[in-house]
A and B are shown apart, each in its own frame.
Chain A
Amino acid sequence: EIVLTQSPGTLSLSPGERATLSCRASQSVSSSYLAWYQQKPGQAPRLLIYGASSRATGIPDRFSGSGSGTDFTLTISRLEPEDFAVYHCQQYGSSPFTFGPGTKVDIK
């Protein structure tokens, strides 16, 4: 089973700042099958990025994903008020599909 570690656990930033979130895998993720989700309280997660770097339909271009192998990054270029949420990474390259513990981005 691939274990995903996300850092930092909490990221405190101001609107307009750049957010850089990390997701590290215990072994190489097959074919960069790595996804990122945003989750707000009381809501289902929303797909942001799949295939490590492809934006999902309707996702603003301030969200970008990068990385391969065991190290992946989600970058939010300029935080908007609606971006303060929890972000999860998931690998779907090998079963069982696994999620990281999440990074909370909150307002500084």
Chain B
Amino acid sequence: QVQLQESGPGLVKPSETLSLTCAVSGYSISSGYYWGWIRQPPGKGLEWIGSIYHSGGTYYNPSLKSRVTISVDTSKNQFSLKLSSVTAADTAVYYCVRRSFSDYWGQGTLVTVSS
């Protein structure tokens, strides 16, 4: 059974960098597919942040592109998200997902941006 699990700080200060990691079990990232991040502000809709292919090719949402970096570590079977210069508008539940149409989701992790 494929499982994804997000981890990282639940509280980030404004202007700092949000860093999350998604550990994948039950499937080897090296085997293929895109791996991505989606976020959902409290009470709002879903926003695609970006995706990375197992070989490292990336796609980012242009609205966030200047601040986002997604990377993959196949040796640890995990991928990561970094979002720089965060503000309160970046407060959201962050999900990691498999594939462009997200067939597997992590449980989500709430990240709050506040001083």
Contact = CB atoms under 8 A, between A and B. Distances in A.
Contacts of B51: 97
Contacts, number: 53
Interface in B46-63: 46-48, 51, 59-63
B100 A101 contact: no
What range describes how many residues of B lie at the interface? 10 to 19
Given A44-B106, A44-B107, A90-B46, A96 B100 contact: no
**Consensus secondary structure, chain A interface:** loop
Interface string A28-71: 00000101010000001111001100001100000000000000
Interface size class of A (residues with CB under 8 A): 20 to 34
Given A44-B106, A44-B107, A92 B45 contact: no
A99 B103 contact: no
Contacts of A50: 101, 103
A98 interface: yes
Interface of B: 45-48, 51, 59-63, 95, 100-103, 105-108
Interface of A: 1, 33, 35, 37, 44-47, 50-51, 56-57, 88, 90, 92, 95-102
19 contacts: A33-B100, A33-B101, A35-B102, A44-B95, A44-B106, A45-B95, A45-B105, A46-B105, A47-B101, A50-B103, A90-B101, A90-B102, A92-B100, A92-B101, A96-B60, A96-B61, A97-B48, A97-B51, A97-B100
